[in-house]
Amino acid sequence: MSLLTTNYLTPTGREEAWRFTPLKRLGGLHDGTAKVGDRQSLSYKSSASGVKFERISRELATSPVETDDVVMQRVREGAHNVATLTIAANTEVAETITLSRSAQGLDSAEFSRVRIELGAHARATVIMENTGDAFLAEDVEFVLAPGSNLTFVSLQEWNTGSTHLAKHHAIVDRDASFKSITVTVGGSLVRLLPSVEFIGQGASCELLGVYFATEGQFFEHRMFVDHKVPNAKSRVNYKGALAGQGAHTVWIGDVFIRAAAEGTDTYELNRNLLLSDGARADSVPNLEIETGEIVGAGHASTTGRFDDEQLFYLMSRGIELSDARRLVVRGFFNEIVTEIGDAVIQDRLMDRIDNELAKAGS
């Protein structure tokens, strides 16, 4: 059991970063009243050489960056160690490395710290599979040395009732590429903060995500891409569907192009499909630009319902309404889900999406 001593500023809900989040449903993770257990639910599976997984005690694992998020500050103080995955320089890991969490329990919270470090010119794909009952606050850091390449897939397939707050912060050095695919389809409340910080020229990131919220679910994806060096490239594409009373999703895309970041190329996109009444999608792209010497900067956000013309076209070929809707929704998510590159996981997610849609009473 951890005892937290520091007096953090508890969010009130009026702060920009918290204005959409239902604080009452955080189980006290934001104000320090949550009971924190000693679980370590993360397990590791890989036999590849050049890959090392170890738990480094808190005292020896200094974080490369400060965090301004109060929950993450508590996690850093409360977690005893940092689960660290290291891929050695010049190692190309062909097989996917799996980190999984399952069946944790809701009686007390887990504070977890994870760090994934790639040496220079290393290349790997890491999948984090989250299933079971979670009451979790998680600080995940990625450190990408020059020329390295990481694809990170995080799957939130939590059981009903789960609460999951996490920050995914990537520090991307010269000519390194970070690609993340975030899938959120389960849990009561999920709030993920993917962020990227470019520290060397020629760095790039691609942040992709899909989410599907049904009755009563709250899913927030709030990203921040910090262009602080020249000639970096970022792409963001999140797609969500919502169905059912009280389904609520939030997508925030903050991109900051600092004065030094000449030659920046950035584009972010969020699309939402509202499948029923009573659901709410918030979508806020934010672009702050301190230099005009850039390649491109743009964003787009759309929220819409089923397209009658698409459904008519499919049905005019004999396809029933429910099947036509299923095709359209699968098609909507297909672009991003296929990026995962694992047929078993893709099929499982598509089946789950079908089920969510069926549950929503199409």
Which residues of the chain form contacts with other proteins (CB under 8 A)?
Answer: 307-310, 312-321, 323-324, 327-328, 330-335
9/315 with CB nearer other proteins = 315
Query: E strands within the chain?
Result: 42-45, 51-57, 81-87, 97-101, 110-118, 123-132, 135-144, 149-158, 163-172, 177-186, 189-198, 204-213, 218-227, 233-242, 248-257, 265-274, 280-289, 296-304
Q: How far is the CB of 362 from other proteins (least distance, A)?
A: 14
Rounded Cα–Cα distance for residues 100 and 217 (Å): 22
103/321 with CB nearer other proteins = 321
Residue with tokens 């925030």: 252
Q: How far is the CB of 236 from other proteins (least distance, A)?
A: 18
Residue 186 near residue 210 (C-beta atoms within 8 A)? no
Which residues, listed in sequence order, are joined to residue 139 by a DSSP beta bridge?
113, 167
Q: How far is the CB of 336 from other proteins (least distance, A)?
A: 9
Rounded to the nearest 10°, the torsion over CA 283, 287, 288, 291 is: 180
Of 209, 164, 153, 192, nearest to 345 by C-alpha is: 153
95/307 with CB nearer other proteins = 307
38/335 with CB nearer other proteins = 335
227/325 with CB nearer other proteins = 325
Q: How far is the CB of 271 from other proteins (least distance, A)?
A: 10
24/317 with CB nearer other proteins = 317
Of 130, 121, 70, nearest to 101 by C-alpha is: 130
Query: 3-class SS at 229?
Result: coil
Rounded Cα–Cα distance for residues 111 and 166 (Å): 10
Query: 3-class SS at 343?
Result: helix
323/342 with CB nearer other proteins = 323
Query: 3-class SS at 42?
Result: strand
Rounded Cα–Cα distance for residues 139 and 67 (Å): 10
Computed on alpha carbons and rounded to an integer, the radius of gyration of the chain in Å comes to: 20
39/330 with CB nearer other proteins = 330
Phi, psi angle pair for 49, to nearest 5°: -85, 155
Q: How far is the CB of 329 from other proteins (least distance, A)?
A: 9
Half-sphere exposure of 1 (CA within 13 A, CB side): 5
81/346 with CB nearer other proteins = 346
Q: Between β-strands 280-289 and 218-227, what pairing exists: parallel, antiparallel or unpaired?
A: unpaired
Q: How far is the CB of 302 from other proteins (least distance, A)?
A: 12
Q: How far is the CB of 322 from other proteins (least distance, A)?
A: 10
Q: How far is the CB of 309 from other proteins (least distance, A)?
A: 5
Q: Got the DSSP string for 68-111?
A: --HHHHHHHHH-SEEEEEEE-TT-B--SPEEEEE----SSSBEE
85/353 with CB nearer other proteins = 353
Q: How far is the CB of 130 from other proteins (least distance, A)?
A: 25
Q: How far is the CB of 198 from other proteins (least distance, A)?
A: 31
For 317, residues 6+ apart whose C-beta sits below 8 A from its C-beta are none
